């Protein structure tokens, strides 16, 4: 496999809940109004220490998007997805950005969100951005 180089972030950090690998900083949050099948999710300009899965088209609440799941490099857990292409003109701002699902990460204060009964069933996407 080779040597794994992990980026260590400074500031208010979001990290993998399984292995504590740094994933993003709060200053890179674009929106906190996203939702996944499991509850809250945040859209970030930049995420680190992840690998991309296969690109696929998914029909989400805001239309068709080409996305790739993102995996923590530390433990291999799926932590969210990256928007590759938005097919709707109004959704183009998402391209190149990544979503971290809150129940899969620790927040800057060490908090961890759990799946709630209010979580949406179905495709993941933004609520009202």
Query: What's the pLDDT tens digit per position in 29-82?
Result: 999 999 888 889 999 999 999 999 999 999 998 999 999 999 999 999 999 999
The confidence score (pLDDT) of residue 128 equals 36
Predicted structure pTM score? 0.84
- Domain for residue 22, yes or no? yes
| Angle, CA of 113, 72 and 69, to the nearest 5° | 85
- Domain for residue 104, yes or no? yes
- Count how many domains the chain has: 1
Largest distance between two CA atoms of the chain: 42
Q: Are 118 and 103 in contact (CB under 8 A)?
A: no
- Domain for residue 53, yes or no? yes
- Which domain covers residue 42, as residue numbers? 13-108
- Domain for residue 115, yes or no? no
Is the pLDDT at 117 greater than 50? The verdict is no
The confidence score (pLDDT) of residue 116 equals 47
The mean pLDDT value for 12-27 works out to 96
- Domain for residue 58, yes or no? yes
- Per-residue pLDDT band for 113 (boundaries 50, 70, 90) equals low
13-16 and 63-72 as β-strands: parallel, antiparallel, unpaired? unpaired
**The CATH number of the domain where 22 resides is what?**
2.170.150.20
- Domain for residue 123, yes or no? no
- Domain for residue 128, yes or no? no
- Domain for residue 100, yes or no? yes
């Amino acid at each position: 496999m080779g040597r794994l180089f992990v980026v260590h972030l400074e500031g208010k950090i979001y990290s993998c809940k399984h292995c504590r690998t740094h994933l993003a900083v709060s200053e890179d949050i674009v929106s906190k109004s996203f939702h996944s099948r499991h509850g809250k999710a945040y859209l970030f300009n930049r995420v680190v220490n992840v690998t991309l899965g296969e690109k696929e088209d998914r029909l989400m609440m805001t239309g068709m998007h080409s996305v790739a799941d993102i995996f923590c490099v530390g433990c291999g857990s799926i932590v969210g997805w990256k928007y590759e292409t938005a097919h709707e003109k109004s959704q183009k701002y998402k391209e190149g950005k990544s979503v971290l699902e809150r129940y899969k990460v620790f927040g800057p204060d060490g908090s961890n969100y759990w799946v709630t009964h209010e979580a949406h069933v179905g495709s993941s996407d933004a609520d009202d951005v």
